[in-house]
Chains A and B, each alone.
Chain A
């Protein structure tokens, strides 16, 4: 951003975000706003999304020792919680929550990065620029979900011995030591779909492109799409669940299940979860 650009568009850059109607089909810079809806009632906690993410995004498998040290690099993780006072193991009441970068609209990580390595894209993604990152890890401190993963070791030298580099995804960089990384909503797929659509003078159709986790989910618990398009499945789900992207507190009926995690901190996440309904009497 040059100074001239900054001064000419001062009011635009000073505008508080997200504002109502920021993403609108009529506005050139915001034809897309990628969003997710994740139904916890359908999720079985099978870890297929995690595995798919490892394969798609060239995530290093760190091994048991470094996992225990807290150096694991899963961009999407399945959190398993047990109910309190629910008895012995099989009846312990496990519940699962897949957690990935929530692509917050007002992301806490973006404001604190000293070099601007993480910033917002026009299509509502929270992007991470590996080449710009100096590894101060401030973004991780300020992330309430702690979904940013730091390269504590030089994984490319250890994680993929001899034949394994051949299976790396060529569309995704391999990250070296000392930089931060996180879920990108498989931005390489999104960009490819966008440029393909652009050559045909159209927008990306709903369902034309999905991240690896959505593609791999056997129960279709995750829905992904462009929330700007009112006919897309994810936009309809958000509408049905009465969750508004631009609000930090939702006014909704008790009958709907949609919610966003830690909404009261006002990060305006792009992932909506649908509560799990359990028959406690049974």
Chain B
């Protein structure tokens, strides 16, 4: 009988090629704390380069928005059929990216996939900050930002309510719910780590972490309550994440603009959301791994698993994309078919074909192990896949609006002005800035969950709970059981 992890590996090695380990099981527990707390201290210089560049981009976005606020939406070069442009396209893109953070932190938690443990924390933070970024676009695209609160159902003396029939109201509600719950989920998952930070910090940071760790002492009762809360929130978040992007898709599916009015939009949007989110998790994985020296925790086998997941999500998205084309092509809706032909052959054809290439063909490179094992290649792959997914959102918005039902209003030659591009760039700056600040202030790798992972790797031959609790296999349990009986 094999008892330890190493012996299992030897036993397996005789029959199979050994698999690379997700994480080295020999890391000392004190070293985990030390390594991860070091990310709060002094990162590589690239951190400041990214941070300052992001801040500059953010200022560009702010100045464009101020100009647009003062002058009117005409400076964005939106026009009458093309009323939404890049704003709504980028809004869908940002809000979609958040879904993969929830996938990693909630779904894989429920499914006991323990390789998520070193990377779920920053993914969940990414979810929160992408939602904050997406919320910016909801405001930016409004004609009168200063009256955005009309969309919220608040009590007032005139008994005016938002129009609950409108998908935009569902949207605002869904995003608000998702933002609140994912923020809560991020925070609750962080409490044990904040306690570790508290025990190691001095000065103002000590006060911050003391306040935020809510008196966490690590007692049995606290852990039990923590587990239940975390699992409950994970179970709550999973259907919520699916519903949020489905509701975002009803903004389009519920309208009667040809090219929007498509039944398969909800699953299509969710698949695209998870796809682009996984790609951005890979990008951030590579950036954080280098910036904060997380090489021992964000290992290559985990990157490879992420790449495989991205490929799977990409294929689901491709399938749903082709379904959309097929149902439109063979359907009886003349206008929708015309809109599809317009996208493929009209003035947006280069972007449309590039979108299909980057989204559906490029991920096939991920089937090669050499691609998955190379960090620079993966960085470029993830960025290009995300660019393809951004194009997809743009190709949903702009060509469709340019080519509606009524031929008199067809409008081919509108190109987003520098104000639109500036605000889109500013949103990148805003997101990166927030995310980098987060990683500098809070532990972006979950210390206690990495320890759990190592514990399982060290003492149990598999992550199967039933096997791990079997005293015949686990010598520690056997001794305890003997004493108890």
Report which A residues bind B (CB closer than 8 A). Answer: 1-2, 66, 69-72, 77, 79, 99, 108, 111-116, 132-138, 140-142, 144-146, 149-154, 177-180, 262, 265
Contact = CB atoms under 8 A, between A and B. Distances in A.
Given A144-B404, A146-B406, A152-B73, A135 B142 contact: yes
Given A116-B160, A134-B151, A137-B84, 18 more contacts: A1-B159, A2-B159, A70-B79, A70-B82, A112-B254, A114-B150, A114-B169, A132-B160, A134-B143, A135-B144, A137-B143, A138-B166, A140-B80, A144-B256, A144-B404, A144-B405, A152-B73, A153-B74
A70 B411 contact: yes
B255 interface: yes
A214 B74 CA distance: 32
A71 B74 contact: yes
Contact of A149 (B80, B151, B168): B80
A138 B260 CA distance: 12
Contacts of B404: 144, 146
B166 A111 contact: yes
21 contacts: A72-B80, A77-B408, A112-B166, A114-B168, A115-B162, A132-B150, A133-B144, A134-B142, A135-B143, A136-B141, A137-B143, A138-B255, A140-B80, A142-B255, A144-B405, A146-B409, A150-B73, A151-B72, A153-B74, A154-B71, A265-B256
Nearest to B410: A146
B143 A177 contact: yes
Contact of B414 (A2, A70, A142): A70
A89 B130 CA distance: 55
Given A132-B160, A144-B404, A179 B80 contact: no
Band of interface residues on B: 35 or more
Interface string B266-309: 00000000000000000000000000000000000000000000
A180 B142 CA distance: 11
Contacts of B408: 77, 79, 99, 146
Contacts of A144: 256, 404-406
A138 to B, nearest CB: 6
Interface string B437-465: 00000000000000000000000000000
B72 A152 contact: yes
Given A178-B72, A262-B405, A71 B168 contact: no
Interface string B64-82: 0000000111100111111
Contacts of A145: 406
Contact of B256 (A77, A108, A178): A108
Contact of A151 (B143, B162, B406): B143
A77 B408 CA distance: 10
Interface in B245-273: 251, 254-257, 260
Nearest to A152: B74
Contacts, number: 136
B143 A150 contact: yes
Given A114-B163, A116-B160, A141 B255 contact: yes
Contacts of A153: 71-72, 74
Contacts of A265: 256, 405
Contacts of B219: none
B148 interface: yes
B83 interface: yes
B485 interface: no
B257 A142 contact: yes
B147 interface: yes
Nearest to A179: B143
B150 A134 contact: yes
Given A113-B163, A262-B405, A136 B143 contact: yes
Contacts of B82: 70
Nearest to A116: B163
Nearest to A132: B150
A112 B72 contact: no
Nearest to B74: A152
Given A1-B161, A114-B151, A116-B163, A137 B83 contact: yes
Contacts of B74: 66, 69, 71, 152-153
B165 interface: yes
B80 A71 contact: yes
